[in-house]
A and B are shown apart, each in its own frame.
Chain A
Amino acid sequence: MNKFDLNIDKSEVLRYLGYKYQLIDENLSKMIDKGIKEIKELSRPRYIIDYFEISKENAIIKLEGDLLYLEGKDIYKHLINSSKVVLLAATLGIEVDRRISYYQKTDLTYSLILDACATQAIEEVCNILENDIRSKLKKENKGLTYRFSPGYGDLSIDIQSRFINILDATKKIGLTATSDNILIPRKSVTAIMGVVESNISNEKIGCIGCSKYNDCNFRRVGEGCGH
């Protein structure tokens, strides 16, 4: 899995930290560089990708063999043009969590920075994987919708455990969910992407179309989540 030569874009890290072009002194800047370096060393990106046929019945999306039901109008819209989906699970591994916990006790500022670096790292891992899938599908004249995770919009986060079981992700990459559906290791992602014909436009929903419009943390500070 050496394809994860992560960059950990500093400007994205700053965005997670709520940065809005304030003056940054050298100390802080160095601290962020150190965080980026440390997360690169600590991360052990692992992932699973699997393809499933889907069918739609009464506005519910079903994975083949009734493995999983996806309910909600947002996911329905997301997969409206798809008859096949990609399930993705990816994680940076538990050492990242341990180090962030460590610094929470010794250096709160740095732990905050490390957390932001790790968030960016798992995003980059997912971007790399998504691009891989995308370019593979392109050869078949197919496209891909963006990554839609359990808990987005009105798709219940309760499917998390089932999702993990379907991919056998605990055994294969060490990914677990708590009984409240929080992924552990913390810097992990599960997501659903729809396979579409390449002529179908694949636009991001943007803020207006998002059902979290009213309570989005990014939007509150004048940003977007990138979707």
Chain B
Amino acid sequence: MIVISGEWVKAVDIREYMKENIVVFDGAMGTMLQRKGLKSGVLPEVLNIEDKDTIIDIHRLYIKAGAKVITTNTFGANRLKLFDCKYTLEEIIKAAISNAKQAIEGKEIYVALDIGPLGQLLEPMGTLKFEEAYSYFKEVVDLGVKYGADLILIETMTDLGEARAAVLAAKENSNLPVFCTMSFEQNGRTFSGCDAVSMTLTLQGLGVDALGINCSLGPQEVKPIVEEILRYSKVPVMVQPNAGLPKVINGETVYNISKNVFCQSLVELCNKGVGIVGGCCGTDETFIEKLSKEVCNIKPIKREIKRVSAVCSYSKTVLIDGVRVVGERINPTGKKLLKEALRNKNLDYILKEAINQIEAGADILDINVGLLEIDEKNVMVNVIKEIQAISNIPLQIDSTNKDVVEVALRFYNGKAILNSVNGEDKVLETLLPLVKKYGAAVIGLTLDERGIPSSAEERIKIAEKIINRAKEYGIDKEDIFIDCLTLTVSTSQEQTLETLKAIKYIREKYGVNTVLGVSNISFGLPRRDLINRTFLAMALTSGLTLPIINPLDKDIMDTINSFKVLNGEDLNANNYIKTYINAIDSNKTPNKVLEGDNSKYDLHEIIIKGLKDEAQNATKELLKNKQEYEVINDYIVPALDWVGNKFEKGEIFLPQLIQSAETVKKSFEVIKSKLLECGKGSELKGKIVLATVKGDIHDIGKNIVKAILENYGYEVIDLGKDVPKEKVLEAVLKHDVKLVGLSALMTTTVKSMEETIAYIRQKREDCVFFVGGAVLNKDYAKMINADFYAKDAMEAVSIAKKVLG
């Protein structure tokens, strides 16, 4: 030990120690406390103060057993979990670290500040905001630094988003080594669905010093999961399993394996490359004693790490070891409807674009929301959040605005691709540090301040510059994708082969993946599809691996699917056959009549029967001979009335009503795009703001009301769920809205409804409110000063008619 300004500090940073030694952590704290008579449900952190001798004793037992690192008794020490604790967070953490230090008695032992989950789930599955979670963790980290922890251990995480928040808080607010482990189930996933590879890619990208698995399973069950981590992790791997699987015997939880089996399994894992071991639930000092004896003679193994190009979300990794499709459709350039959706914050439209591309076979989605008149930063985060709420497809952040890039990479749950940097020094200096910090992959465009070079050689030079510069920032080659840029063949014919030449060279020379937007090639020519698919085939042959395309374009997807057979990627043509075998069948029987052929129905009947898939064609047919308003007045409105009437009489029930509503929606989509085409705006009856109030996330009812109101021609501004009153007011003022619908399902959140109404009335006395939700009724609605109570969606329509006409 050496002394610096009166403080004992460790002679060797643990990161150095790890290089030469297998690190042994301690075993369980909870198990030891239970052994000492702690009842379940009592906050163990309180004991740091009220029974510190017990805590110090436990630490001492582990040190005596040979643990090199002891973990502070702070698993649940955060503001959320200690909400009803009589001590402050600072008092607890201070005491916990002091206890650990007392137990060390000057020995060369490291103190790990233990950080467990907050106990609330982050958005989008829960309601806790990423930055809130971050600030709770930051508070703990700050205290850990203040009171002198040697390293930070983030453990038992099950949500990758929460683990990210904790790691970022640790990295940004301390210089301490950061270790992070998550808990998996036997199916290889955490409770929130995260898999080992996605965890590994994401956490190592954030720069943790070690990562791995703890708790949840015994050392034998974790083996396949650990092996997978070992294959991909570029940083040391840590394992702290339970003492087997838990069993409840006479009300006591016991674990099923002995310390011998435990140690033997961990030694095996060390021989495979695990560098840090310890115990979780069910382990005690006898396990650690045996373990430290067994591993003290093993040196850390040099592992063979699979260096792969890969991106991931919170629960899905896409390895880029072949051709992967990047969907291009979420990009407002040249798309009227998407522009309108972005301006109106119509996220549903954007989500549909996402879903359509996913269902058409996209592997990754490009997200570009750059539109001058919108707040790109805000919209980008919302789009990422909404897509990640419904799909685990990895995303590619398409922006060059530093602020947008930073917030997007920070918020995105997983390892994203940044689209893009180029050879300009200023761009590289601005964006590469962000790519490194958040562990993203990055696309490098082969252009610079001088524009797009005309020769392949010049492009290759820029590619080389980008690759080298990225390396200086610590970004590995496998995380760089080079875009050699497509120029329009009709105007720069000689450029096409230069692009392909550059791809081929870069792929062969540097082994990096290559990106290309394809459809640009055919601009200005007839039958663009022919040029597009032929160029795509040429580019793929030259070594293109990440085509940015429209996956809904069947020609393009067919080209890719067949290319994958021809280049050997689709082994035995398995996928190809699976995709096309039915196509062959239907070619054979072109005249077969589909069962339940619905084409004979007219739009009125289609709506009544709720035949969603038929609505668009039927509407298009009608519009050939009729005006838009005629279709609405002669077909849609009467059908809606018929359905609404039947519902009110109880002759049809809710799913049937919704089915018809969704059918009408499809029909309206056709009418709306026709109107936009002719430059006419759609005539809407009036605007209504809808929200599920703060504190409540039950929003199915609200969504139903929205669907029906839209059917009747009202413009619904849907603010979503858990909406603070300030946001409702903002929307009311911004859109000058007279009618507001609020929903709440719980008795406790009706209060929030009352507050929202009062708050808005202060500023907009004339605002009319209707409310709905399971616990409400007419009297209750009156009590909270709502103007109307809507018992169901149809009643919401009659209220809207009354108020807005």
Contacts and interface: CB of A to CB of B under 8 A. Distances in A.
B39 A178 contact: no
Contacts of B389: 98, 101
Given A166-B41, A180-B695, A20 B653 contact: yes
Interface in B126-185: 126-128, 156, 158, 183
Given A109-B658, A112-B700, A173-B191, A67 B774 contact: no
A112 B749 CA distance: 22
Given A98-B390, A108-B662, A157 B355 contact: no
Interface in B668-707: 695-698, 700, 703-704, 707
A168 B119 CA distance: 10
Given A105-B352, A180-B748, A215-B776, A98 B125 contact: yes
A176 interface: yes
Nearest to B190: A174
Contacts of B390: 98, 101-102, 105
Given A94-B192, A102-B390, A177-B120, A67 B704 contact: no
B780 interface: yes
A63 B650 CA distance: 47
Contacts of B348: 105
A122 to B, nearest CB: 15
A161 B156 CA distance: 19
Nearest to B251: A51
Contacts of B125: 94, 97-98, 184-185
Contact of A22 (B190, B653, B698, B700): B653
B651 interface: yes
A105 B158 CA distance: 26
Interface residues of A, number: 60
A106 B658 CA distance: 13
Interface residue range, chain B: 35 or more
B77 to A, nearest CB: 13
A68 B41 contact: yes
A223 interface: no
Contacts of A165: 41, 43, 81, 119
Given A22-B653, A182-B697, A176 B126 contact: yes
Contact of A151 (B117, B610, B661, B747): B747
B765 interface: no
Greatest chain B CB density within 10 A among A31, A179, A182, A217 is at A182
A28 B659 CA distance: 9
A224 to B, nearest CB: 14
A17 interface: yes
A193 interface: no
Contacts of B308: none
Contacts, number: 157
A146 B610 CA distance: 41
A176 B703 CA distance: 25
Interface in A208-227: 214-215, 217, 220
A72 interface: no
B700 A18 contact: no
Contact of B127 (A63, A171, A180): A180
Contacts of A97: 125
Contact of A64 (B39, B191, B612, B707): B39
Contacts of A63: 41
Contacts of B707: 108
Contact of B777 (A17, A178, A186, A220): A220
B391 interface: yes
B39 A65 contact: yes
Contacts of A19: 653
Contacts of B183: 171
A115 interface: yes
A67 B119 contact: no
A115 B610 contact: no
Contacts of A111: 700
Interface in B647-669: 650-656, 658-659, 661-662
Interface in A28-67: 28, 31, 50-51, 63-65, 67
Contacts of A25: 609
A67 B748 contact: no
B656 A178 contact: no
B438 to A, nearest CB: 24
Nearest to B657: A109
B215 interface: yes
B618 interface: no
A162 interface: yes
B352 A106 contact: yes
Contacts of A196: none
Interface in B352-366: 352, 355
B616 to A, nearest CB: 15
B215 A17 contact: no
Greatest chain A CB density within 10 A among B121, B748, B776 is at B121
A181 interface: yes
Contact of A105 (B251, B351, B749): B351
B780 to A, nearest CB: 7
Given A68-B41, A94-B193, A105-B355, A180 B696 contact: yes
A107 interface: yes
Given A104-B703, A164-B119, A217-B775, A182 B696 contact: yes
Interface in B373-413: 389-391
A181 B391 contact: no
Contacts of B658: 108-109, 112
A113 interface: yes
Given A28-B655, A184-B125, A215 B780 contact: yes
B11 interface: no
List the 10 shortest-distance A-B pairs measured between CB atoms, nearest first: A174-B191, A166-B41, A180-B695, A217-B774, A67-B41, A102-B390, A178-B127, A109-B658, A109-B659, A65-B39
14 contacts: A17-B653, A22-B651, A27-B610, A28-B655, A64-B39, A65-B42, A105-B351, A106-B355, A112-B655, A157-B748, A171-B156, A174-B158, A178-B120, A179-B120
Interface of A: 17-20, 22, 25, 27-28, 31, 50-51, 63-65, 67-68, 93-95, 97-98, 101-102, 104-109, 111-113, 115, 151, 157, 161-162, 164-168, 170-171, 173-174, 176-182, 184-186, 214-215, 217, 220
Given A105-B352, A215-B775, 18 more contacts: A20-B653, A22-B650, A22-B651, A94-B125, A95-B193, A98-B193, A104-B703, A109-B610, A111-B700, A112-B700, A113-B655, A115-B700, A161-B119, A167-B40, A174-B158, A176-B126, A179-B80, A220-B791
